[in-house]
Amino acid sequence: MEELPQSVLFCCDHNAVRSPMAEGLMKKFYGTGTYVQSAGVKNDMEIDGFCISVCQELGIELSRHRSRSFDEMEQWGDDLSSFDLIVALSPASQRRALELTRFFSLDVEYWPIMDPTGLGETRDAKLDSYRQSRDQIIQRLVHRWGEPKEM
């Protein structure tokens, strides 16, 4: 179990499902002592409704999340070198994060989190897929930084 970093960036392909979920869970579990943000390789999708639903089950509000890309982060003044840790939740985001940070001394970790989009035929089956991804993120967070401070 490690000490919480001062700042973490979660990233995935579109910043619409996995990385906003991870951002919301981290903030809920460990409070405001760590600066937590999320980004995508691309920003071509809004936050996913199923993602909002399965996080609401845990009291995490994501409906106001605005998706953004690595490029937009830099335009908005969020410098990647200012993060202590980048956690990539998809292979494409891991490649992009490594590319963008090769001159910085910061850690890029890869957590292989299932992409639930496109899985399941019915609403219930889709929600189950999203819960699986959410729960994979929870397992990773707890494994890395211990039990949540509050729920």
Model-level pTM? 0.92
Within a domain: 26: yes
- For residue 21, the enclosing domain spans 16-145
Residue 6, domain member (yes or no): no
pLDDT of residue 46: 80
The domain total for the chain is 1
Question: What pLDDT, on the 0 to 100 scale, is given for residue 150?
Answer: 62
**Domain contains 151:** no
pLDDT for the residue 134: 97
Q: Do the domain assignments include residue 7?
A: no
Q: What residue type is 140 in one-letter code?
A: R
* Token code pair at residue 141: 């967070």
Q: Tens-of-pLDDT digits for all 151 residues of the chain?
A: 678 999 999 999 988 899 999 999 999 999 888 999 999 998 777 888 999 999 999 999 999 888 899 888 888 877 888 899 999 999 999 999 999 888 887 889 999 999 999 899 999 999 999 999 999 999 999 999 999 876 5
pLDDT score of 3:
87
Helices marked H in the chain: 18-30, 49-56, 70-75, 91-100, 123-145
Q: In this structure, is residue 105 part of a structural domain?
A: yes
Structure tokens at 31: 């409070």
Q: Using CA atoms, how far apart are residues 87 and 107, in angstroms rounded to an integer?
A: 8
In a domain, 84, yes or no: yes
Residue 43 forms part of a structural domain:
yes
What is the pLDDT at residue 151? 52
- For 133-136, which contacts have Cβ atoms below 8 Å and span 24 or more sequence positions? 133/17, 133/18, 133/21, 134/21, 134/25, 134/54, 134/55, 134/58, 136/111
- Residue 81 placed within a domain: yes
Q: What is the CATH number of the domain that holds 46?
A: 3.40.50.2300
Residue 8: count of CB within 10 angstroms of its CB: 23
